[in-house]
Amino acid sequence: MRYVVGIDLGSTTTKALVLDEKGNVVGRGITNSRSNYDAACQIALGEALINARFSALDSELAKDGVGETERTLWMTTLDRVFRLRQFREQLEALEEELSRVLVKFDLKAGYAAAVDRILRRMNEEAGALFAEGASRKSDFFRDLAGSSYLRHAEEESRREGLSFGPLAGLYDKAIIEVENLPTAAGDFENHALGALGEMASPPPKLASAVERVAGMALTQVGSVGTGYGRARLPFPEGQIRSEILCHGLGAHAMFPKTRTVLDIGGQDTKAIQVDDSGIVTSFQMNDRCAAGCGRYLGYIADEMNLGLHELGPLAASSERPVRINSTCTVFAGAELRERLSLGEKREDILAGLHRAIILRAMSLLARSGGVADEFTFTGGVAKNPAAVGALQKLIFENYGKVGINISPESIYTGALGAALFALKEARRFDA
């Protein structure tokens, strides 16, 4: 299969999206951004190509006459076992790195024994994370492993009289190296065939299709990169496009009637106007301050000892939002602690913070030309229910009834636009 790829290197996450020669989305991959941008791009692309092979596997099963219900069951089971094998492979890498860090820290023997017990429990619990019907708060190894490791580290520190700080520090040091391993996404052939071996009586048609897909050649014929960190992408200059162009084109591809696009990323916010072809006609961006962006929400989550994914649902439960005038990241912690000391509820503070973020975005939208029907919200913050709720309310108050598009895949909008630019260039070259 020949394919093109778009990579969006954001300040928080790196996304890769794969299109086949017909322009169909066949694979998506996402990973935490890191200082090693080469590794981030390689890992995100690796995940996207694994995803592409799963798409090809579904097509092969359909060709073999397997019905949709049966296909879904087989694919879901295979995917669960596949992801568990990936997780355990990364746990092995974490164990090796922790051993090296322990030697470097030269801690007393009690810490090494505690780490060994923690890792043993993490391995024992891994199966439950990927059991049928299990829900995970994150798909990132860092988050899943970190939550489990720190929980057991607290237990060890209480039971064995060890200091929690060094135990947590060991993980912080080790996970950086594990995340940067270029093999973090793993290998489809190894994990898929291994997953078949771990399944109870895998259907012969599934086994045959997996073998065919594992041997399928994937040939990259084009690539374009974009994102906040695009200047550091390992791509030639001619294969780089601005975030604004990519989000405009990606939003238009997802929702062809789009005329206004709002992207709230980790480090910046973009208000974009596009024509009926997805070509940008005007735009406005915030300055390089992270106020009112995803990174600001990350600081707030850290201050409240919450996961980033927990902020939106908590804020959405508020009944009396607090009025917040500043979304300065530098003073976020101090302002939050002051509000809490005054007796304000966490959910009310968070609701006010989300509204303040959207108010900043509304200002950009007004300067870019206002909001036209249809409006598309892109970026990671589009998954936040409190941000979406505040946006819908403010748009209605200021612009009336406007169609608002929000996709579950909104975080990939920029990568989609980049991939479409790559596909256009590949077709021009072939012609």
Looking at 159-163, 289-293, 308-312, which range is the least confident one? 289-293
* pLDDT mean across residues, the chain: 89
| Domain end point (choices 162, 196, 214) | 214
Task: Give φ, ψ of 236 to 5 degrees.
Answer: -60, 155
Confidence of residue 326 (pLDDT cuts 50, 70, 90): low
Domains: count for the chain? 2
DSSP state of 240: B
Establish if 318 belongs to a structural domain. Answer: yes
Query: Residue 407: CB partners within 8 Å, gap ≥ 6?
Result: 254, 255, 382, 413
Print the domain residue range for 379. 256-406
Kindly state whether residues 354 and 208 are assigned to the same domain.
no
Distance of CA 316 to the CA centre of its chain: 22
Question: Which one, of 271, 275, 221, lies nearest residue 247 by Cα?
Answer: 271
Per-residue model confidence as pLDDT tens digits over 110-149: 899 999 999 999 999 999 999 988 888 777 888 889 989 9
Whole-prediction pTM value?
A: 0.88
Per-residue model confidence as pLDDT tens digits over 56-110: 999 999 999 999 999 999 999 999 999 999 999 999 999 999 999 998 887 777 8
Establish if 181 belongs to a structural domain. Answer: yes
Q: Is 224 exposed, middle or buried (0-12, 13-18, 19+ CB in 10 A)?
A: buried
pLDDT at 244: 95
pLDDT at 327: 62
Confidence of residue 227 (pLDDT cuts 50, 70, 90): confident
Kindly state whether residues 207 and 291 are assigned to the same domain.
no
Establish if 400 belongs to a structural domain. Answer: yes
Kindly state whether residues 60 and 147 are assigned to the same domain.
yes
Per-residue model confidence as pLDDT tens digits over 328-376: 655 666 777 888 888 889 899 889 888 888 988 999 999 999 999 899 9
Contact 263, 243 (CB under 8 A): yes
Confidence of residue 381 (pLDDT cuts 50, 70, 90): confident
Kindly state whether residues 197 and 278 are assigned to the same domain.
no
Kindly state whether residues 265 and 391 are assigned to the same domain.
yes
pLDDT at 288: 57
Contact 404, 374 (CB under 8 A): yes
Establish if 228 belongs to a structural domain. Answer: no
Residue with tokens 């927990």: 310
Omega of the bond prior to 338 within 30 degrees of 0, cis?
Answer: no
